[in-house]
């Protein structure tokens, strides 16, 4: 547990220039930032995300939009992927951080073995809160912490008091993995969720040529159209695979590689991070398409950007300027992308922990904007903490 050091603020240069007699024009002094990350200078730990049962490895982050049930507006929900023995795919808890009390409480938990969820429970980055108060979370479970014993998992529905209500399973639900992009109209909603675990073998199974676990190009993004009757849990009215062929690969340390970050634009374009291929792609007409985009020329959809600052891109969110912010899995950096210009703008270290090589390797996962839209929340897996980056 630690508070990360504060970076220098922009006015430090102005102060130094004044002391040395430099002359800076008002235009120079007040120039607008070219990107969101230029405005971010402080990184601080807020609280431990490990609840009373000892669950570890925080993944998803979601900010509660309004008071509902036991949830309060602006509370931050965080899922845990590991249990107290640090086995991946066995975490069963969602905790809630209060920015008012600066404390964390258990919001919801599920039994480790749930008949409605094939393979058990292991809460992932798939998490959302509907306007109607229902909390939906994805489970990609394992019995021994590896994909060798994984189950297909399910999507679980909790009410706003954290009470388990129902679970969804089926042939298209094969390891709900990435953060949920959505359109929520109250009585109806559309969710986009990546499925990353279909057919993955144990990480100890090696390709005879590469000597690494084999790469399967069958990870998908599924669109769920929900009906939400008044006072009743949501039901799936339709489910459609809108993209298929993303890279999936088992991994001993990271459980699996697969599509993780999902961000829906106002024009219906869905942006997806393909972690293993280190790229961000775009799926056009995501809200209306009836046939999936398939893998062509080593990509699913239009390539927006690839490689460079991206280093196993994971969760992805919108930030001011209509830019995308992506968390790297292999180092402690977040990367800002202009999707229209198809350019990577900046990378900033939010976790420079030297215990990992490169610093912050394997520590980042979920992202969420702060309610004022000026900063963002993130988790550090190695410390089991919720953190914040601010101006």
**265 belongs to a structural domain:** yes
> In Å, how far are 126, 193, 312, 366 from 179, measured between CA atoms?
4, 7, 15, 8
Alpha-carbon gap, residue 155 to 170, rounded angstroms: 10
CA distances from 114 to 18, 141, 202, 236 (A): 65, 11, 23, 20
- When divided into structural domains, the chain yields a total of 1
| Mean pLDDT value across residues 45-64 | 98
Q: How confident is the model at residue 34 (pLDDT cuts 50, 70, 90)?
A: confident
Whether 13 has a pLDDT exceeding 80, the answer reads: no
For 261-274, write each residue's pLDDT tens digit. Answer: 999 999 999 999 99
Parallel/antiparallel/unpaired status of strands 42-48 and 56-63: unpaired
Q: 36: which DSSP letter?
A: G
**Backbone phi, psi, residue 17, to 5°:** -60, -40
- How crowded is residue 141: how many other Cβ atoms within 10 Å of its Cβ? 29
Instruction: Measure the CA angle with vertex 253, ends 263 and 156; round to 5°.
Output: 50
Q: What is the residue whose two structure tokens read 């270290």? A: 349
Average pLDDT over residues 344-372: 95
- The answer to whether residue 77 is domain-embedded is yes
**Cβ–Cβ contacts within 10 Å for residue 113, how many?**
12
Query: What pLDDT is stored for residue 31 in this prediction?
Result: 58
Write out the H or E segment, with its range, that includes residue 272.
Answer: strand 270-274
Q: What is the CATH number of the domain that holds 85?
A: 2.120.10.30
Q: What is the pLDDT of residues 165-214, one digit of tens each?
A: 999 999 999 999 999 999 999 999 999 999 998 999 999 999 999 999 99
Residue 8 has pLDDT above 90, yes or no: no
Question: Residue 3: inside a domain, yes or no?
Answer: no
Q: Are 391 and 41 in contact (CB under 8 A)?
A: yes
* Domain-located, residue 2: no
Contacts of 296 (CB under 8 A, 6+ apart): none
Take residue 149 and report the two structure tokens written for it: 């014993």
The separation between CA 222 and the C-alpha centre of its own chain, rounded to angstroms, equals 16
Give mean pLDDT, residues 226-248: 97
Q: Which of 366, 367, 363, 333 is nearest to 350 (CA)?
A: 333
Residues 365 and 36: their CA atoms lie apart, in Å, by: 19
- 6 domain-assigned: no
Q: Is residue 1 part of a domain?
A: no
Residue 321 lies in a domain: yes
* Residue 159: count of CB within 10 angstroms of its CB: 18
Per residue, the 3-state secondary structure of 83-95, as one string, reads CCCCCECCCCEEE
The tens digit of pLDDT for each residue in 81-118 reads 999 999 999 999 999 999 999 999 999 999 999 989 99
Range of the domain at 242: 11-390
% of the chain residues with pLDDT over 90 = 88
Residues 159/178, Cβ–Cβ less than 8 Å: no
Angle subtended at Cα 326 by Cα 322 and Cα 328, rounded to the nearest 5 degrees: 165
Contact between residue 313 and residue 262 where contact means Cβ atoms under 8 Å apart:
no
Residue 309 lies in a domain: yes
118 near 163, Cβ under 8 Å?
Answer: no
Give the Cα-Cα-Cα angle 375, 381, 383 (nearest 5 degrees).
Answer: 90
Confidence grade of residue 7 (pLDDT, cut at 50, 70, 90)? very low
Q: Which two tokens stand for residue 206?
A: 């090696």
Q: Which of 318, 380, 371 is nearest to 349 (CA)?
A: 380
The predicted-structure confidence for 129-173, as pLDDT tens digits, reads as follows 999 999 999 999 999 999 999 999 999 999 999 999 999 999 999
């Amino acid at each position: 547990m630690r508070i990360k050091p504060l970076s220098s603020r922009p006015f430090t240069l102005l102060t130094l220039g004044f002391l040395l007699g430099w002359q800076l024009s008002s235009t120079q002094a007040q120039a607008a930032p070219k990107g969101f990350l230029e405005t971010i200078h402080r990184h601080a730990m807020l609280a431990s995300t490990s609840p009373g049962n000892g669950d570890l490895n925080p993944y998803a982050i979601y900010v509660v939009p309004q008071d509902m049930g036991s949830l309060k507006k602006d509370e931050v929900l965080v899922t845990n992927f590991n249990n107290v023995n640090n086995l991946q795919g066995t975490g069963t808890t969602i905790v809630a951080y209060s920015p008012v009390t600066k404390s964390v409480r258990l919001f919801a938990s599920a039994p480790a073995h749930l008949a409605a969820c094939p393979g058990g429970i292991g809460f992932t980055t798939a998490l959302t809160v509907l306007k109607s108060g229902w909390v939906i979370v994805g489970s990609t479970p394992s019995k021994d912490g590896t994909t060798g014993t994984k189950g297909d998992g399910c999507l679980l529905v909790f009410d706003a008091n954290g009470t388990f209500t129902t679970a969804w399973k089926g042939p298209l639900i094969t390891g709900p993995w990435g953060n949920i992009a959505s359109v929520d109209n109250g009585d109806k909603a559309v969710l986009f969720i990546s499925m990353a675990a279909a057919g993955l073998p144990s990480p100890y199974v090696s390709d005879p040529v590469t000597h690494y676990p084999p790469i399967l190009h069958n990870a998908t993004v599924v669109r769920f159209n929900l009906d939400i009757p008044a006072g009743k849990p949501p039901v799936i009215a339709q489910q459609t695979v809108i993209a298929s062929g993303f890279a999936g690969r088992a991994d001993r340390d990271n459980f699996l590689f697969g599509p993780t970050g999902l961000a829906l634009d106002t024009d219906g374009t869905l942006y997806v991070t393909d972690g293993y291929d280190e790229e961000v792609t775009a799926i056009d007409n995501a809200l209306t398409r009836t046939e999936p985009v398939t893998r062509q020329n080593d990509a699913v959809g239009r390539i927006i950007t690839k490689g460079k600052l991206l280093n196993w891109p994971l969760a992805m969110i919108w930030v001011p300027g209509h830019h995308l912010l992506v968390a790297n899995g292999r180092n402690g950096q977040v990367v800002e992308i202009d999707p229209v210009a198809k350019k990577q703008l900046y990378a900033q270290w939010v976790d420079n922990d030297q215990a990992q090589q490169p610093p912050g390797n394997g520590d980042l996962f979920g992202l969420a904007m702060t309610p004022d839209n000026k900063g963002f929340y993130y988790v550090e897996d190695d410390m089991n903490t919720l953190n914040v980056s601010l101006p």
